[in-house]
A and B are shown apart, each in its own frame.
Chain A
Amino acid sequence: QKEVEQNSGPLSVPEGAIASLNCTYSDRGSQSFFWYRQYSGKSPELIMFIYSNGDKEDGRFTAQLNKASQYVSLLIRDSQPSDSATYLCAAPEGDFGNEKLTFGTGTRLTIIP
């Protein structure tokens, strides 16, 4: 069973601090990874994607990928109360040409003012 796993939280972080969200995946063939943010009662929205080992920065968000360890993370700098949401990690898993985007169960993040 191919899996994408996340700590469900809740993760509480003081405003202005760095929030670190982690995700592991089981399919070594996965080439791309996505982070979605989902506010309560709303649909997920794509906030970051990463294909290469290393870091990718976009504003206050940094995605980190380590393919050797099968680990992807999302860092949120200068955390704001508006960052309070559930963050979903996703990776294509399955046979080449028939990969299915598999979602983790999400980590609930709360930013404390």
Chain B
Amino acid sequence: DGGITQSPKYLFRKEGQNVTLSCEQNLNHDAMYWYRQDPGQGLRLIYYSQIVNDFQKGDIAEGYSVSREKKESFPLTVTSAQKNPTAFYLCASSIDWGDEQFFGPGTRLTVL
């Protein structure tokens, strides 16, 4: 059963803590993406990766970090440097860069 999984679904974090959001896909897609969505807002691109061992900053990368050591996995770390991290985080993948993207179920992060 192919798809994209994200975990956890809900995450609570204290201020000053780093936290890592998981994203795994078994679609054999080369490209993966992380977006942030705030209430009533569109999708803002945080980081993207076109291929294993390579990734690029998106529009709002400050306070975030990623790695792409395996084709299937693209974890996102929200660091303490991110000033307003409470948001809905979406991971997506596509066969190739610029193709239609398929989204995981999302992780809702709340900073207490």
* Residues of A participating in the B interface, judged by any CB pair closer than 8 Å: 32, 34, 42-46, 49, 88, 90, 92, 98-101, 103-106
Contact = CB atoms under 8 A, between A and B. Distances in A.
B42 interface: yes
Instruction: Tell me the interface secondary structure of chain B in the complex.
Output: loop
Contact of B41 (A92, A101, A105): A105
A45 B103 contact: yes
Given A88-B43, A100-B45, A103-B42, A42 B100 contact: no
A105 B90 CA distance: 15
B104 A43 contact: yes
A98 B43 CA distance: 19
A104 B42 contact: yes
A32 B96 CA distance: 14
B88 to A, nearest CB: 8
Given A46-B101, A100-B45, A103-B43, 17 more contacts: A32-B98, A34-B100, A34-B101, A44-B43, A45-B103, A46-B100, A46-B102, A49-B100, A90-B101, A98-B97, A99-B98, A100-B48, A101-B100, A103-B42, A104-B42, A105-B42, A106-B42
